[in-house]
């Protein structure tokens, strides 16, 4: 005889339901998601069908409700699970969405959509297509205006490397996109959160989400922040083939070539819950603190600080622009 089930949580958000589901499973409480508009029980979220219900075995219901209540108390309100995850990612992106659903859509892998029997969950593949086009346009514009001495072939090669999957995967990993992906169970079990291809695809989709939410200026701002380190490496004379390398190595090479002290990275602060910490890292060259950056890991924060430092030091070494030069 099947065990009786009790509904312990209701929400309109697929992400919030899965946050709470993960919280329960971490305590050894198995749960099922279902829709208020369907008699079927689904293994994953079912956006598009109205209210989503989270059910557990009746004999575990009291414990499950206590776990959820404790989480709400710690978080401050019942929606803080999704709100906190969204806010943390928005902080890393440097962009706050007016329509949070666009960000959710950008993070939804096809494995999640395929496992949803309702057909109400859309994957991010169309957004990848749009994000790829937006990236191509803005990077081509920057190369055209900032590197007039490059011939067409050199510009094309630089653009291809800048927007190649390995480059986007590294940028996406530094933002912590993997931990926010909405995956199907099979993809989750196979380590999808760490797959560079999935992270690169999600990165393109996030670019599209920002473009759709805030228009071209918002997308330009995000892409300029993300690629400033790589463009600084180009301005500093680094080979195009090295663009997909890491910023820490690029900065070390730049400093060594000029007889400067090697960079030193120090963790200045950490904050956030243990499962979603943010690290702030200071980068020093000699006695001077040159840059500070934040990231979901110390490595990501160090990479961000190195990118900032490289851009700043290269600009200082180049001196003020001559009269008549393009300034920005």
Task: Give pLDDT tens digits for 75-134.
Answer: 444 344 556 777 888 999 999 999 988 998 999 888 877 776 555 668 889 999 999 999
Arithmetic mean of pLDDT, 230-250? 68
Q: Which of 35-49, 129-143, 238-252, 309-323 has the highest mean pLDDT?
A: 129-143
- Is residue 66 one of the residues assigned to a domain? yes
The answer to whether 201 and 193 have CB atoms below 8 angstroms apart is no
Give 51's pLDDT tier (boundaries 50, 70, 90): confident
Could you tell me if 224 and 293 lie in one domain? no
The parent domain of residue 168 ranges over 94-244
Q: What's the token pair of residue 127?
A: 């957004």
Domain boundary among 208, 229, 244: 244
The residue behind tokens 């490595």 is 299
Of 185, 167, 53, the residue nearest 114 (C-alpha): 185
pLDDT (0 to 100) of residue 264 = 95
pLDDT (0 to 100) of residue 81 = 56
Of 55, 36, 56, the residue nearest 47 (C-alpha): 36
Active site residue 132: yes
Could you tell me if 176 and 293 lie in one domain? no
User: Higher-confidence residue: 2 or 86?
Assistant: 86
pLDDT (0 to 100) of residue 246 = 60
Task: Give pLDDT tens digits for 165-175.
Answer: 778 988 999 89
Whether 181 has a pLDDT exceeding 80, the answer reads yes
Whether 243 has a pLDDT exceeding 50, the answer reads yes
pLDDT (0 to 100) of residue 191 = 85
Of 204, 213, 302, 311, which one is the catalytic site residue?
204
How much is the mean pLDDT over the chain? 79
Domain boundary among 203, 218, 244: 244
pLDDT (0 to 100) of residue 321 = 46
Of 132, 213, 233, 294, which one is the catalytic site residue?
132
Could you tell me if 104 and 150 lie in one domain? yes
Could you tell me if 114 and 237 lie in one domain? yes
Whether 43 has a pLDDT exceeding 50, the answer reads no
- Is residue 84 one of the residues assigned to a domain? no
pLDDT (0 to 100) of residue 283 = 96
31-35/52-57 β-pairing: antiparallel
Active site residue 204: yes
Domain boundary among 19, 50, 78: 78
Domain with residue 209: its CATH number is 1.10.1520.10
Whether 284 has a pLDDT exceeding 60, the answer reads yes
Could you tell me if 127 and 27 lie in one domain? no
Task: Give pLDDT tens digits for 248-272.
Answer: 877 887 788 788 999 999 999 998 8
Could you tell me if 65 and 105 lie in one domain? no
Whether 285 has a pLDDT exceeding 90, the answer reads yes
Q: Taking the model in full, what pTM does it have? A: 0.54
- Sign, CA torsion 228/230/231/236: positive
pLDDT (0 to 100) of residue 72 = 58
- Is residue 64 one of the residues assigned to a domain? yes
* Domain tally, the chain: 3
pLDDT (0 to 100) of residue 82 = 58
- Is residue 86 one of the residues assigned to a domain? no
- In whole angstroms, what is the distance from residue 71 CA to residue 74 CA? 5
């Amino acid at each position: 005889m099947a065990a009786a089930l009790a509904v312990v949580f209701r929400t309109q958000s697929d992400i919030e339901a899965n946050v709470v589901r993960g919280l329960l499973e971490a305590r050894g409480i198995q749960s099922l998601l279902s829709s208020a508009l369907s008699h079927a029980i689904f293994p994953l979220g079912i956006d598009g069908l109205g209210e989503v219900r989270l059910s557990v075995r009746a004999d575990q219901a009291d414990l499950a409700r206590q776990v959820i209540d404790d989480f709400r108390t710690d978080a401050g309100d019942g929606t803080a699970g999704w709100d906190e995850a969204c806010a943390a990612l928005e902080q890393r992106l440097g962009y706050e969405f007016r329509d949070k659903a666009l960000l959710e859509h950008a993070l939804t892998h096809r494995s999640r959509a395929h496992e949803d029997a309702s057909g109400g969950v859309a994957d991010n593949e169309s957004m990848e297509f749009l994000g790829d086009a937006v990236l191509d346009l803005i990077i081509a514009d920057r190369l055209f205006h900032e590197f007039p001495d490059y011939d067409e072939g050199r510009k094309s090669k630089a653009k291809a490397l800048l927007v190649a999957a390995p480059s986007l995967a590294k940028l996406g990993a530094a933002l912590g996109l993997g931990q926010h992906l909405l995956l199907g169970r099979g993809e989750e079990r196979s380590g999808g959160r760490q797959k560079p291809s999935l992270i690169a695809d999600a990165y393109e989709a996030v670019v599209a989400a920002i473009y759709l939410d805030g228009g071209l200026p918002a997308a330009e701002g995000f892409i300029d922040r993300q690629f400033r380190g790589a463009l600084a490496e180009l301005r500093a004379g680094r080979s195009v083939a090295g663009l997909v390398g890491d910023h820490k190595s690029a900065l070390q090479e730049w400093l060594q070539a000029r007889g400067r002290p090697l960079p030193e990275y120090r963790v200045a602060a950490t904050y956030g819950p243990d499962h979603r910490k943010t690290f702030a890292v200071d980068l020093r060259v000699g006695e001077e603190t040159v840059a500070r950056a934040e990231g979901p890991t110390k490595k990501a924060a160090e990479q961000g600080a190195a990118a900032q430092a490289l851009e700043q030091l290269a600009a200082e070494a180049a001196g003020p622009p001559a009269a008549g030069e393009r300034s920005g």
